[in-house]
């Protein structure tokens, strides 16, 4: 699903600000200015949450004017940078950091966060120089979510499939030289708690030239356990059981499979183990766990037993987290969100939040869409109820633009973005791809004459 693009027409300022403060968290909404009859709203961040919030405001308030600001020279956030390039229909982000493992050795070469790795193959400028070492045969992904499956699929996909996507040239070249032929995905809990969805699992199971390796013992008794579970969970578990019980080579996709992937359950990382010279990762020591409770609330408790899994590439896919916006904006460091009620920031009238900084890094694009509509609805209700001061007329981007010019900052306009977009599409067409992303912001700026 693509994010709606309202274009630079009424309501969307044609000169989004790349932002003097790169540490800002996308998703915060500030009521900057308004006229009594034409409220003016500023949206910080041009990802799905920002655009959906703007869309709802413009749709339900005829006179609303919305300025969208973005720190990068290109818009659309996770739609552009966040999800596997072979899934353009689900590209769905707002959290600027990743959760750390908090274990010894996680800073060794060969260990990467999922966020950085995804950013690398999607052309996110800050991750363009990641240069991951893919010279090992076995990779371990810590996490059982859709992002974990995305990464596994990218690592194991035939190059012919990837060449048809907008994956960056440098990452495609690195994957062409990759020695990775086995990928394990490990999680602290069991099969009934995996966070990926059936569509992503089925695609992974049917990946050409790749064999799924699931241990039937991990699924003992689960057929009865999911009889009364919600239908999506039941179907997902049944597919895993069916795959675990299949004999090698039974599926067409597995014929002459040169690569493998598998799921490991009830394993929690304790330490990333270094090579003898201490220069890179060689494996991970895992604590075996048991589950207390059932369903989504089940907790993983260490049993005291451990095992070592040899791998030269470790990818941490245990979730994203938001960062504090500004000392003046309240922030819950424990939950990684801005404290709010229906998007209204606590103790800060006129300030709203949407997306992952509002609810935490969960859900898919439709979740973000509905969440953003709820925040926009709160703004509309506060407007109608007289909760916002609309008595003073302010200039909105006119004032901000003057400040930027006084600082020597030249914003990238929406029409500038269209030039970048056209150049990327033209480069992609020459290579038989949807687009070839420009990953260097300076090259983007040169292209538009900045």
325 pLDDT tier (thresholds 50, 70, 90): confident
Residues 268 and 348 in one domain: no
What pLDDT shows up at residue 83? 57
288 with 400, same domain: the answer is no
Write down which residue in 294, 320, 346 finishes a domain.
Answer: 320
* pLDDT of 88 above 60: no
Do 152 and 218 lie in one domain? The reply is yes
Q: Distance between CA 299 and CA 286 in Å, rounded?
A: 16
Residue 11 included in any domain = no
Q: Please determine, for residue 2, whether its predicted confidence score (pLDDT) is greater than 60.
A: no
- Asked whether residue 448 is assigned to any structural domain, the reply reads no
Q: Is residue 131 part of a domain?
A: yes
Q: Give residue-wise pLDDT tens across range 131-179.
A: 999 999 999 999 999 889 999 999 999 999 999 898 999 999 999 999 9
Q: Do 155 and 59 fall into the same domain?
A: no
- With a threshold of 0.75, does the pTM exceed it? no
Give the integer Cα–Cα distance in Å for 82 and 434: 17
Quick: pLDDT tens for 354-379. 988 888 877 677 788 889 999 999 99
| Residue 336 sits in the same domain as residue 307 | no
Within a domain: 5: no
Last residue of a domain, one of 320, 342, 370: 320
- Specify if 169 maps to a domain: yes
- Residue 282 sits in the same domain as residue 407: no
Handedness of CA 292, 293, 297, 298 (dihedral sign): positive
Residues 278 and 402 in one domain: no
Residue 375 lies in a domain: yes
270: containing domain = 97-320
Residue 179 · residue 133 · CB < 8 Å: no
Per residue in 252-280, pLDDT (tens digit) is 555 567 899 999 999 999 999 999 999 99
Q: Are residue 103 and residue 68 in the same domain, yes or no?
A: no
Pairing of β 65-69 and β 39-44: parallel
Residue 264 sits in the same domain as residue 214: yes
Q: From 292, 320, 348, give the residue that closes a domain.
A: 320
Helix/strand/coil for 283: strand
CATH number, domain with residue 384: 3.40.50.720
Domain total in the chain:
2
Which is higher by pLDDT, 294 or 110?
A: 110
Helix axis angle for 114-122 and 146-156, nearest 10°, is 50
For residues 181 and 246, membership in a common domain is answered with: yes
- CA 323-88-23 angle, to 5 degrees, is 15
| Residue 210 is assigned to a structural domain of this protein | yes
For 21, the token pair is: 């403060």
Which residues are within 8 A (CB) of 322 and not within 5 positions of it... i.e. 6 or more apart? Answer: 25, 27, 94, 95, 96, 97, 336, 337, 338, 356, 357, 361
The backbone region for 77, taken as left when phi is positive above 0, alpha when psi lies in -120 to 50, beta otherwise, is left
- Give domain status of residue 44, yes or no: yes
Q: Are 50 and 127 in contact (CB under 8 A)?
A: no
Distance CA 250, CA 244 (A): 12
Residue 106, domain CATH = 3.50.50.60
Same domain, 163 and 218: yes
> What totals of helices (H) and strands (E) does the chain contain, helices first?
14, 17
161 vs 12: CA distance, rounded Å? 37
**DSSP string of 84-120, one letter each residue:** -TT-TTT------EE----STTTTSTTEEEHHHHHHH
Quick one: 55 and 72 in the same domain? yes
């Amino acid at each position: 699903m693509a994010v709606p693009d309202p274009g630079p027409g009424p309501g969307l300022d044609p000169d989004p600000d790349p932002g003097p403060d790169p540490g800002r968290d996308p998703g915060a909404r500030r009521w900057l200015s308004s006229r009594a009859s034409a409220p003016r709203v500023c949206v910080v961040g041009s990802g799905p949450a920002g655009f959906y919030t703007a869309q709802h405001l413009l749709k339900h308030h005829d006179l609303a004017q919305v300025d969208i600001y973005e720190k990068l020279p290109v818009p659309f956030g996770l739609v552009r940078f966040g999800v596997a390039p072979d899934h353009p229909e689900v590209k769905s982000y707002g959290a600027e950091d990743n959760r750390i493992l908090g274990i010894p050795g996680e800073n060794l070469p060969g260990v990467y966060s999922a966020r950085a790795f995804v950013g690398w193959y999607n052309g996110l400028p800050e991750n363009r120089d990641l240069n991951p070492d893919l010279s090992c045969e076995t990779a371990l992904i810590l996490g059982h979510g859709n992002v974990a499956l995305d990464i596994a699929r990218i690592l194991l996909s035939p190059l012919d499939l990837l060449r048809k996507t907008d994956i960056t040239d440098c990452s495609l070249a690195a994957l062409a030289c990759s020695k990775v032929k086995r990928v394990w995905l490990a999680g602290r809990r069991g099969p009934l708690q995996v966070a990926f969805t059936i569509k992503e699992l089925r695609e992974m199971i049917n990946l050409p030239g790749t064999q799924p390796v699931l241990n039937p013992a991990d699924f003992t008794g689960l057929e009865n356990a999911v009889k009364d579970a919600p239908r999506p969970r039941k179907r997902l578990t049944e597919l895993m059981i069916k795959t675990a019980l299949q004999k090698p080579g039974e599926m067409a996709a597995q014929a002459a499979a040169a690569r493998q992937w598998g799921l490991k359950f009830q394993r929690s990382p304790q330490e990333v183990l270094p090579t003898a010279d201490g220069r890179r990762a060689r494996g991970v020591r895992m604590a075996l766990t048991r589950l207390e409770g059932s369903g989504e609330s089940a907790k993983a408790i260490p049993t005291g037993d451990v095992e070592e899994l040899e791998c030269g590439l470790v990818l941490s896919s245990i979730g994203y987290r938001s960062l504090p916006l500004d000392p003046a904006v309240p922030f819950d460091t424990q939950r990684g969100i801005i404290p709010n009620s229906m998007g209204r920031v606590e103790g800060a009238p006129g300030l709203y939040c949407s997306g992952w900084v509002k609810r935490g890094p969960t859900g898919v694009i439709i979740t973000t869409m509905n969440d953003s509509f709820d925040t926009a609805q709160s703004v509309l209700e506060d407007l109608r109820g007289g909760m916002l001061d609309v008595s003073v007329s302010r200039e909105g981007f006119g004032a901000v633009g003057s400040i930027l010019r006084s600082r020597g900052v030249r914003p990238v306009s929406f029409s500038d973005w269209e030039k970048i977009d056209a150049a990327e599409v033209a480069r992609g067409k020459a290579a038989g791809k949807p687009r070839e992303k420009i990953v260097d912001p300076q090259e983007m700026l040169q292209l538009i004459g900045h």
